[in-house]
Amino acid sequence: MASDYSSLREECLAANLALPQTGLVDLTFGNVSVADPAHRVFAIKPSGVSYDKLGAGDIVVLDFDGNILSGSFRPSSDTPTHRYLYRHFEGIRAVVHTHSRNAVAFAQAGLDIPCLGTTHCDYFHGPVPVTRAMTPQEIGGEYEWETGQVIVERFTRAGLNPLEVPAVLVRNHGPFAWGSSGAKAVETALALEIVADMASKTLALNPRATPAPQALLDKHFFRKHGANAYYGQPAA
């Protein structure tokens, strides 16, 4: 990898600039990080910098131990959460955090986003989980690091595969999503907001709406993901 981490910075910049275009962020609420797991480093948006002023040179690069390797700005305040996820969810290369409104509504209600139809099934192999409430000790301690811990705890306790359910709702806070690239993580965050909007409207129309059948869930998820996927065109 080049010593200036240029390719990592460029991918991270592109993903961060894509966020406002999706409508997922208000003000500066949101950030994307992109990792190079082989070298145990990641790039992330600097804290509080407006998207319209963001350049590749502003992106901060850190190692998985939290040491800043390159960049003059303070990294996103959510950096420890991103770092915790990279250290514990093998196979992810990018993480997106937003305060997108429909996903936040489920997080504030303390509810999983139920898997009610095929749009959800295409991206998430089951409900998108919400974490437990954080304790006063966790909030008063290393809050952002503890946020990562409660995310991983939620997946571990439920036996969830983060590559099959690539998003989570942090209770009273908001969503984190991830993927194999910066662009894919942003796409997943957008899909999450779309299915949250659909679910909230469905439940408003019919509070007793039931989840999609398991057979339908498996069909739609695995036709797009995994070794036997057949959706789209084969790689060149």
CB atoms within 10 A of CB 123: 24
| pLDDT of 236 | 57
What 3-state DSSP class applies to 15? Answer: helix
Q: 114 is written with which tokens?
A: 């139920």
| pLDDT of 69 | 96
Q: 61 is written with which tokens?
A: 């690069």
| pLDDT of 211 | 96
| pLDDT of 155 | 98
| Rounded Cα distance, 183 and 16, in Å | 9
In order of start, what are the domains of the chain with their CATH numbers?
6-222 (3.40.225.10)
Our answer to whether residue 218 is catalytic in this structure is: no
| pLDDT of 1 | 47
Helix, strand, coil percentages in the chain from 3-state DSSP, rounded to 5? 45, 15, 40
| pLDDT of 27 | 77
The pLDDT averaged over each successive group of 10 residues in the chain (236 residues) is 80 94 84 95 89 88 96 92 97 96 97 97 97 97 97 98 98 97 97 98 97 94 82 67
- DSSP, res 227: T
Our answer to whether residue 231 is catalytic in this structure is: yes
Active-site residue, selected from the candidate residues 36, 58, 122, 197: 122
Give CA angle at 46 (43, 47), nearest 5°. 140
| pLDDT of 52 | 80
| pLDDT of 48 | 79
pTM for this prediction: 0.93
